[in-house]
Amino acid sequence: MKINKINEMSSPELEKELGELKNELFKLRFSLATNGLDNPMKIREVKKDIARINTVLKQRELTNK
């Protein structure tokens, strides 16, 4: 997910997307442990998306104080 798309989303939408990404990361890790993944780099991409969303949410929180 690109940072421009993340910046356009509202905070509640970001919270929802964050929950979905965390759930996807759990499923990917579980799949990796049980039977392997077709694309192990997907875990890396999801982790980076989670970090991007957390960064934007923190920036918004600090600017609203």
pLDDT in 10s for each residue of the chain, 65 residues: 788 999 999 999 999 999 999 999 999 999 999 988 889 899 999 999 999 999 999 999 999 87
Classify 58 as helix, strand or coil.
helix
Single pTM value for the model: 0.90
Whether residue 11 contacts residue 64, with contact meaning beta carbons closer than 8 Å, is answered with no
* Structural domains of the chain, count: 1
Give the position of tokens 């392997």: 36
The confidence score (pLDDT) of residue 36 equals 82
The confidence score (pLDDT) of residue 38 equals 86
The confidence score (pLDDT) of residue 47 equals 97
CATH of the domain at 58: 1.10.287.310
The domain containing residue 25 runs over which residues?
A: 3-63
Distances (CA, A) of 35 to 5, 28, 38, 39, 42: 33, 11, 10, 12, 15
The confidence score (pLDDT) of residue 1 equals 78
